[in-house]
Chain A
Amino acid sequence: MAAGRSQAYVRGVTPTHSPATAADPGRSPTAPSGASSDTSGRSDAATAAVTRSAYRLRINGTEHELDLDNRASLLDVLRDRLDLTGSKKGCDHGQCGACTVLLDGRRANSCLVLAVAAQGREITTVEGLAGADGELHPVQQAFLDHDAYQCGYCTPGQICSAVAVLDEVANGWPSAVTRDPDAVELDRAEVRERMAGNICRCGAYANIVPAVLEAQRLTAGAAGGDGAVTR
C-alpha cells in the first residue's frame, strides 16, 4: 500500500508560517483565563500577527488559496468557506463520522483535523467521488440501490468511510473481528465493525451493510489496493 501513501509527506506548498519565533514576549501571564476559555482577553497584537496562515488546500483535484485563522477545522473550511457542504457536522468531537473525508485516500474525521495541518494532502470529499461525467462511484450507486439512508445526514460520511473500507480490505488490513489476518474478507460482521465509526441516528444500518457488501462486489477486481481512492 506504500505507493499511494508516500504522497502523504510530499508538501505541495512551502509552509508559510514562521516556525521558530521565540516565546511571545508580549503575552501577559496575568491575562484573564476565563473558565469558558474563549479568545477574548487572551490574545494581543503580538499573537494576532501569527495566529493565521496563508496556505493552499487541494480538494477534489482543485487547489484553493486560503488565508485563515489557525483555529479553522478542515470541516468548517469545507462547509463555510468553500461551499462543499456534503461533509456534515454531527458532533465536532470525532464521535459520529458524519464529517468523514479522505486524506490521501484514507478516511479521517475532518472535524478533528486543523485545516492548516491538511496542507499538501490530497483531500477528497463526497462531492469528489463521482466521475467527471457524473457517473456515481459504485459505493454511491449501491447506497441508492439499497435505500441505505433515511434522513441522509450521515450518508456522505458513511459513503466516504465505505470507499476507504473497500481499500483497506483490498490492502489486507485486519479489523477487530478478523479471524484470519492473512485472508481478510468482507462479510456482514466485518462491515459492521469497520463502519462502527459512522453513527446513523435513523438506524439505517440494516440497508447500509448490504450496500457496502454490494459495492465491494461491484468494485472487486477493479480495486487497486494501492491506498488511493478506487473508482
Chain B
Amino acid sequence: MREFAYGSAESVEQAVAMLDGDPDAMFLGGGTNLVDLMRLGVATPGRLVDISRLPATVEQNEDGALRIGAAVRNSDLAADPRVRRGYPVLSEALLAGASGQLRNLATSGGNLLQRTRCLYFQDVTKPCNKREPGSGCPAREGLHRDLAVLGHSEACIATHPSDMAVALTALDAHVVVTGPAGPGRIPMDEFHRLPGDDPTRDTVLRHGDLITAIELPAPSELSRNSGYRKARDRASFAFAIGSVATAITVVDGTVTDVRVVLGAVAHKPWRARVAEQAIIGGPASAHAFEAALDLELSAAQPFPDNAFKVPLVRNLAVGQLCRLAGVEMSVGSVGAGTDGAGR
C-alpha cells in the first residue's frame, strides 16, 4: 500500500476545503471498499480526508421528505422505523447487503460510490479499461458471469454492486453534493453512468465532490408498497447476481403507478422504464407483468456465461410485482426463457 497522510474533517466545509486542490486525496467513509482497494493497489491516494465523523442524522422535514446524512451507517438506516415503514424497499436492500459487521461501518455516501467487483478491475496485474484506460477489457472474453447484460459498451461490461442504489432509484431519491463547483442535487437515476467510452467514471461526480446527503420524497402509497429481492450464490453475505427493487400501486385491479429497477445487470441501477410504461394503466396480472419485462429485456445483450441473468431478473421482477399487487403468479410461465436467454 502506498503511504498516505490522514486528516479527519469536523464539518462539510472543512471536508471540501481539506480535499480541494489535491488530485491525490480521497474521502474516507467507513473504509470497507476504499481500504480494501488500497490494500489491493487499485486505489492509491496520497491523502485521506476522513468524513465518517460528519453529522450522521436522518431528518424528516414538515412535508415528510427524509434527508439521510452521508455519514449515516447502513445498519442505522436499515433499522430506522421511518425507513422500514415508509420505504421498505430501502430497508430490505440494505439488510440484503454485506454483513452485520460491514453494515455498521459502511456509510450511505460510500455505499453509492463503491467500485465494481469485476475481478480484473480488482487485480492490478490484469488489463482493465476502468482502472487503466486503453489497456483493454479481458472480461468480455474471460470471466463475465457476474457482469452486465444491459447498457454495456465495447470498453467495459462491469456492473455496479450496490443493493442500496437499486432501491434508491426506485424511490426517486436525490443525491445532494457539494464541492469545488458548488452544491448540486442529482436525481438518483442520473447519478451513476453507463460506461460508454469512459468507464473510469462510475458516476457524474467530479474529483473533490462530497456527498452530503441523500433525499427521499415523502412516503407515499407507492413507496410503502415496495420491496427488494436479491438472487445470490449463497443464502446470505454475497453480492447480487441479479436483484430487483419494485413498487406498485393498484386501484380496482388497474396499475396506477409502478417502479421496476433491476440490479447487478448494468453499470448502474437499471430503471426499467419500458416495462413501467407498459404496466401503467393496464391490469395488475402476472401475464401483463411478464409481457412488460420481456419487452424491457428484449434490449438485453448477454454474454455466453451470463445469459442466465435475463430470465433470472425477469422472474424476480414478475414474482415481486405479483406479491406486492396481491395477484396470483402464473406458474407455467415462470422459468420460461426470453429472447436473450439460453443461447
Contact = CB atoms under 8 A, between A and B. Distances in A.
Interface of A: 9, 15, 17-24, 27, 33, 35-39, 42-43, 47-48, 50-51, 53, 69-71, 73, 92-94, 97, 100, 103, 106-109, 112-114, 116-117, 119, 161, 164-165, 168, 171-176, 181, 192-198
17 contacts: A20-B14, A20-B18, A23-B21, A24-B22, A36-B41, A37-B41, A42-B44, A71-B1, A92-B39, A107-B101, A112-B105, A114-B31, A161-B100, A168-B100, A173-B75, A176-B236, A181-B91
A47 B99 contact: no
Contact of B101 (A37, A71, A92, A108): A108
Given A47-B5, A94-B32, A112-B30, 19 more contacts: A19-B9, A19-B49, A23-B22, A39-B3, A43-B2, A51-B5, A53-B6, A69-B3, A94-B102, A100-B101, A109-B32, A112-B102, A113-B31, A173-B75, A174-B84, A196-B236, A197-B100, A197-B102, A198-B99
Contacts of A17: 5-8
Nearest to B9: A19
Nearest to B104: A106
Contacts of B23: 23
Nearest to A111: B35
Contacts, number: 166
B119 interface: no
Given A33-B44, A175-B95, A116 B3 contact: no
B70 interface: no
B59 interface: no
B52 interface: yes
Interface in B26-47: 28, 30-32, 35-36, 39, 41-42, 44, 46-47
Nearest to A50: B5
A93 B36 contact: yes
**Which of the four size classes fits the interface of chain B?**
35 or more
B100 A165 contact: yes
A27 B3 CA distance: 12
B57 to A, nearest CB: 11
Given A35-B125, A71-B3, A117-B28, A22 B104 contact: no
Contacts of B102: 94, 109, 112, 197
Given A107-B104, A181-B84, A193-B236, A114 B6 contact: yes
Contact of B100 (A35, A50, A107): A107
A208 to B, nearest CB: 14
A93 B32 CA distance: 8
Contact of B78 (A70, A73, A174): A174
Contact of A174 (B7, B25, B95): B95
Interface in B76-120: 78-79, 84, 91-92, 95-96, 98-102, 104-105
A42 B32 CA distance: 24
A109 B105 CA distance: 8
A9 B54 CA distance: 9
A165 to B, nearest CB: 7
A196 B235 CA distance: 9
B105 A117 contact: no
A197 B6 contact: no
Contacts of A93: 36, 39
Contacts of A9: 53, 56
Contacts of B4: 51, 70-71
A100 B105 CA distance: 12
A43 to B, nearest CB: 5
B143 interface: no
A70 B31 CA distance: 13
Given A19-B18, A197-B99, A35 B124 contact: yes
A125 B194 CA distance: 43
Candidate in B18, B53, B56, B125 with the most chain A CB atoms within 10 angstroms: B53
B58 to A, nearest CB: 12
Candidate in B46, B78, B98 with the most chain A CB atoms within 10 angstroms: B46
Given A22-B22, A181-B84, A73 B35 contact: yes
A97 B36 CA distance: 14
B1 A39 contact: yes
Contacts of A35: 41, 124-125
Contacts of B84: 174, 181
Candidate in A23, A119, A168, A176 with the most chain B CB atoms within 10 angstroms: A176
B129 to A, nearest CB: 16
B50 interface: yes
Q: 6 closest Cβ contacts across the A-B interface?
A: A197-B99, A37-B41, A19-B7, A196-B236, A23-B22, A51-B3
Nearest to A109: B101
Contacts of B52: 117
B6 A20 contact: no
B221 interface: no
